[in-house]
Amino acid sequence: MTDLDTFRQETREWLEANCPEAMRTPVASFEDIYTGGRRPEVAHPDQVVWCERMAERGWTVPHWPREYGGGGLGSAEVKVLREEMERIGARRPLDSFGISMLGPALLKFGNEEQKREHLPPICRGEIRWCQGYSEPNAGSDLASLQTRAEDKGDYYEINGQKVWTSYADKADMIFCLVRTDNTGTKHEGISFMLFDMDQPGVTARPIKLISGSSPFCETFFDNARAEKRNLVGELGQGWTIAKYLLTHEREMISGFGTAPGKSLGKAAIEEFGADESGRLRNGMLRQEIAQYQLDTLAFRATMERVGDEVKSGQGLGPASSIFKYYGTELNKRRNELNVAIGGEAALGWSGARYDDGAVVRSFLRSKGNSIEGGTSEVQLNIVAKRVLGLPDA
């Protein structure tokens, strides 16, 4: 047996013995995703048990180094672990912005002290993070942000306002872009800081969306305090870190485009019926479904190709620049089709018959996918300028 086979065998046995039954059921809604934090939202007590057991082995973030709370696994072992978890239908024990966004930025730009202070609590699900990027007058034009951080000797004083701060009302800490210098270009003078949300100078107010949920907040800083040791990178280096982090965010959002699900074609046949040769009765709908499925297949192949190109040492090619744009547009198309196929049943807002509006709320929420994290139009600008070499206006 190779080492990898041994690892697979041991992993399989350990998962069998330690993954609670309740954690082997599919994730049905957002509540089933465990995000941790000082005040964790617990839909099922086994979420906590499962997270603790996995964190003990470093397997909440298996590819991070062991000294920072990760599993220290190589990519082949991570793949085995993922496969073995999929085999028994095990849920991911922990999912958070700390893992998907702040962690990669700290590993790349943080100093040793910052990594040791912040990464292990992310792995254990003890601290929940939020991201302070957009402001009322800095959306697509993010670099125009005006939230100030003033050097007060042994700390920074933060004043200003952020918006679209995901889960700011539930987060313990924030990683935040602040202006520390107004003299140079707008990209210079931005710094990347970490500070506590649980302090008198911070207020988070949830924003109710068209979908009825409130995942985002307006966040106000009124003489809030950031410790000096929590400046990440150099003063004025924030834009570089922000861009790096945005690529992680865009990858995460574009992942929505690959969400598997019940075949739309078969769902449509249940509603509309099929002709004698098995074709969906409504030919116009059928074409749109087929085109969607086709593009999904080709998009997945593109994610696979880009991943394989990186693994084979060819580097991250220009195709990666389309992920955010294309993945979110695909997700919007899927939601449009879900509404069309469901008809009246898809339009209900509440009540058991309508599954509390799951279809239409998801449809409404999907409209934000091509706005958040850089609009589709900004993405196309980036492709035109950086990839195609077309000049500025």
- Residue 40 to residue 255: CA distance in whole angstroms: 25
| Count of residues interacting with other proteins (CB under 8 A) | 49
Alpha-carbon dihedral sign for residues 161, 165, 171, 173: negative
Q: How far apart are the first and last CA of the chain?
A: 61
Angle at 322 between CA 318 and CA 328, to 5 degrees: 160
Task: Pick the stretch among 77-85, 99-107, 166-174, 284-292 that binds other proteins (CB under 8 A).
Answer: 284-292
**Which helix (H) or strand (E) is 175 found in, with range?**
strand 173-179
Nearer to other proteins, 130 or 280 (CB): 280
CB of 255 to other proteins, least distance (A): 16
3-state class percentages of the chain: helix first, strand second, coil last, to nearest 5: 50, 15, 35
Structure tokens at 286: 């059928």
Task: List CB contacts of 366: < 8 A, sequence separation 6 or more.
Answer: 256, 328, 331, 332, 334, 335
Nearer to other proteins, 111 or 291 (CB): 291
With beta carbons less than 8 A apart as the criterion, state whether 218 and 205 touch: yes
Task: Pick the stretch among 36-44, 189-197, 199-207, 264-272 that binds other proteins (CB under 8 A).
Answer: 264-272
Task: Pick the stretch among 100-108, 206-214, 363-371, 373-381 that binds other proteins (CB under 8 A).
Answer: 373-381
CB of 314 to other proteins, least distance (A): 7
Which of 37, 93, 132, 265 is close enough to bind other proteins by CB under 8 A?
A: 265
Site map 320..349 versus other proteins, x via CB under 8 A: --x--xx-----------------------
Residues listed for the chain = 393
Concerning whether 249 is annotated as a catalytic residue, the answer is: yes
Which of 118, 286, 332, 333 is close enough to bind other proteins by CB under 8 A?
A: 286
- Residue 280 to residue 290: CA distance in whole angstroms: 11
CB of 324 to other proteins, least distance (A): 11
Which of 21, 112, 276, 392 is close enough to bind other proteins by CB under 8 A?
A: 392
Number of H helices, E strands in the chain: 13, 8
Which of 48, 207, 319, 358 is close enough to bind other proteins by CB under 8 A?
A: 319
Nearer to other proteins, 220 or 326 (CB): 326
Contacts 24+ apart (CB under 8 A), 352-357: 357/212
Alpha-carbon dihedral sign for residues 87, 89, 93, 96: positive
Residue with structure tokens 């958040």?
A: 372
> Active site residue: 77, 84, 135, 249, which one?
249
The SS3 of residue 227 is: strand
Site map 289..318 versus other proteins, x via CB under 8 A: xxx-xxx-xxx-xx-xx--xx-xx-x---x
Nearer to other proteins, 188 or 309 (CB): 309
Burial class (CB in 10 A: 0-12, 13-18, 19+), 315: exposed
Segment 215 to 234, residues that bind other proteins, using CB under 8 A: none
Site residues (vs other proteins, CB under 8 A): 263, 265-266, 268-269, 274, 277-280, 286-287, 289-291, 293-295, 297-299, 301-302, 304-305, 308-309, 311-312, 314, 318-319, 322, 325-326, 377, 379-381, 383-385, 387-393
User: Which residues have a catalytic role annotated?
Assistant: 249
